Copies of this chain bind each other. A is one copy, B any other.
Amino acid sequence: MIVVLRPEAREDEIESIMGRIERSGLKGVLTRGSERTIIGVVGVDPVLPDLRDDVEIMPGVEEVIPITKPYKLCSREFQSERTVIQVGRVKIGGDGVVVIAGPCAVETEEQILDTARAVKRWGGHILRGGAFKPSTSPYHFRGLGREGLKMLSEAGKEVGLPVITEVLTPKDVELVVEYTDILQIGARNMQNFILLDEAGRTRKPVMLKRGMSAKVEEWLLAAEYILSQGNRQVILCERGIRTFESATRNTLDISAIPLVHKLTHLPVIADPSHGTGKWYLVTPLTLAAVAAGADGVMIEVHPSPDTALKDGAQSLTFDHFADLMRRLAPVAEASGRPIFST
């Protein structure tokens, strides 16, 4: 942490700032320039939010500049080798690109089973399907709940694919854990800290979607909540951020993928379906995400998108999904990391 002083800062103000720093068990090093005087704060613990807030408003202070990352357990400095998460026989974050696919919401036994078969057939690795759906309007479909969980779980078993599904609230964590292989925490819940705590207390892998307006640093701090509860199996998922552009539903931030790989050891996948909101953009953005180094992708697939209860406009048909897998294989290979195979 660096404290920049105002040009007119008085000696007694500087002393008082130095005192406050030292009372925190840290050391302040003063550098007087012709234009500005600064205090470098040095010490052991990287996380000093209260001190920072305090010093920021002391008389004589112009600005406080943090210089260490506020997260720790998920940083590459803490763990340099990449985390690989094993789900059944699938490895996320390892040598192969993983494809998660399925409908936005579980609707019927037939719908999820048909989709599971198609996902399996065309080479997908994990089946997705929502039983608890966040919905912008209270009048929209909100998911089948426990029944949906069962259908998803059974469809996964039937075809031999692990499953992933979203949990919306702390009290459902126990229930969802029973049926799923990976817990998904959605964009709208990225800063639902009580839910993060609760997911951190389970021993299931957690996929944490980036919030619609979350900076990369905030996203990693949300992951840190889960890690700091003892659960080290976190998969990050870039799903598009909200910008001024309305031609796409969100702006898929592809640059976040290599950036996150530099900052953290956790695997990161992309969700081009929510990221774009338009089915005809899903395949090009899938290829882009994998070329940029994504550990996997999550794709919405539906037997008949035009009757889907949720997000039909961004879902692929089985034929489109087959085509996506065919086009993905050579690009994944060429990017130095083929599609995962056991």
Which of A90-98, A116-124, A153-161, A246-254 participates in binding chain B? A246-254
Q: Please tell me the size bucket of the interface on A.
A: 35 or more
B54 adjacent to A307 (CB under 8 Å): yes
Among B43, B218, B289, the residue within 8 A (CB) of A33 is B43
Question: Do B137 and A224 have beta carbons less than 8 Å apart?
Answer: yes
A235 to B99, CA, bound (A): 34
State whether A255 and B281 are in contact (beta carbons under 8 Å apart), knowing that A43-B33, A134-B191, A191-B134 are contacts in the complex.
Answer: yes
Contact of A281 among B225, B242, B259 (CB under 8 A): B259
| A247-B216, A292-B287 known; A170-B168 Cβ under 8 A | no
Query: Which residues of the partner chain B approach A139 to less than 8 Å between Cβ atoms?
Result: 47, 49, 70, 228
> How many Å lie between the Cα of A339 and that of B40 in the bound state?
46
Q: Are the C-beta atoms of A258 and B284 separated by less than 8 Å?
A: yes
User: Any chain B CB within 8 A of the CB of A88?
Assistant: no
Tell yes or no: A151 within 8 A of B by CB.
no
Please indicate the chain B residues that have their CB under 8 angstroms from the CB of A63 in the complex. 67
Asked whether any CB of chain B lies closer than 8 Å to the CB of A68, the reply is: yes
> 8 shortest A-B CB distances, which residue pairs?
A33-B42, A213-B213, A330-B334, A334-B334, A291-B291, A287-B291, A288-B288, A169-B194
**A-B contact list, 20 entries, CB within 8 Å:** A4-B67, A32-B42, A34-B43, A54-B306, A70-B136, A70-B137, A168-B193, A215-B244, A215-B246, A215-B247, A247-B259, A248-B255, A251-B255, A252-B255, A254-B254, A255-B285, A259-B278, A259-B281, A284-B293, A291-B291
